[in-house]
Amino acid sequence: MTLPGHPDPDQVKGRIITLEFEGCYLIATYVVNAGQGLKTLDAKNVWNHHFEVYIRDLDKKKPVIWMGDLNVAPTAI
């Protein structure tokens, strides 16, 4: 699936799987990485904005469980 409203659908294709169950949505993501030296931070920020809109819209209908590779490690592991 692509991310609704994202200006570059090819960039986000395959990064989101959304399953709808009777009582909730289950979303698995592979979030855009900001890269070494934050070289792709702008792309990550665009992703974050559109994903937030998407997940909040779903949450208005029923609870959302979000999992996956969120690419949030602030330092080297």
Catalytic residue among 30, 54, 57, 59: 30
Catalytic residue among 42, 57, 59, 69: 69
Question: Active-site residue 10, yes or no?
Answer: no
Question: Active-site residue 30, yes or no?
Answer: yes
Give the long-range contacts of residues 64-69, CB within 8 A, separation 24 or more.
64/24, 64/25, 64/26, 64/27, 65/24, 65/25, 65/26, 65/27, 66/27, 66/29, 67/26, 67/27, 67/28, 67/29, 68/27, 68/28, 68/29, 68/30, 68/31, 69/29, 69/30, 69/31
Catalytic residue set: 30, 69
